[in-house]
Structure 1
């Protein structure tokens, strides 16, 4: 079972001009991720740059060609708490194990500060109804692992 531990953004993260977080936060994160790696459950993890460096693709109604129209909206985006500042991806044997690891996640802002970390389970290909398209996804997954 794969889970994503999602660090929600905050005004402080969105205002950053360079990645220079509190050394205590970095130390706690390094220790935590080291523990995940030693336990063999860490798949990936990283921080994201502020939304002003990103963009969104907005899809609209289909045009005459039958395809959705698309347009780019550059950041920054409002409501930092609705944005993602970083993530950690883990693979564990149960929801309970994911909950246990996520409870140990260090405060991503700093101790005593208000912060939100959201945890979501990823879909596994085996959960979908078998189909030709699903087989294509399984083949792609196999390619990416080799």
Structure 2
């Protein structure tokens, strides 16, 4: 079965204003229980703010490093989920349901990408 990476995108400048509604934790917990029981969720986590991160760039034969925060970037990856689904439609449905658990006043997006299983892994 194919695997998909769901990159959860947030506006880091507004993240401190995110207030959950009374049922948010319960909705998220129920969804995580269901998706895990279905054998779809392989891994998930939130990420620390960009002020804790470092960007590395290969350019002109050299690697440069820039420590966060990355204020020029409005939308950042705030978390991820690694899903194993029968097809893209199923991955889209689970990701849609994840987004719908969030309070309506939040601005949260997701980029869903199928993992290229044809690429050799380091263990191969």
Q: CA deviation digits over 1:59-94, x for unaligned, max 9?
A: 1212xxxxxx1121000112231x100011110111
Going from structure 1 to structure 2, the CA distance change for 1:49 and 1:108 (only over 3 Å counts) comes to farther
Going from structure 1 to structure 2, the CA distance change for 1:91 and 1:21 (only over 3 Å counts) comes to farther
Q: Using structure 1 for the length normalisation, give the TM-score.
A: 0.70
Mind listing any 5+ residue stretches in structure 2 that lack a counterpart? none
Which protein has the larger Cα radius of gyration, Structure 1 or Structure 2? 1
Alpha carbons 2:7, 2:77 under 8 Å: kept? yes
When you count helix as a share of all residues, which structure comes out higher?
A: 1
Which range moved further: 32-41 or 94-103?
94-103
Going from structure 1 to structure 2, the CA distance change for 1:44 and 1:87 (only over 3 Å counts) comes to same
CA RMSD of aligned residues (A): 2.4
Distance in 1 between the 2:7 and 2:114 partners?
A: 11
Aligned to 1:90: 83
Which range moved further: 116-125 or 34-43?
116-125
Distance in 2 between the 1:58 and 1:76 partners?
A: 16
Alpha carbons 1:45, 1:88 under 8 Å: kept? yes
Aligned to 2:9: 8
Q: CA deviation digits over 1:81-133, x for unaligned, max 9?
A: 1x1000111101111211221221134763233321221111113xx5xxxxx
Aligned to 2:39: 40
Which range moved further: 104-113 or 37-46?
104-113
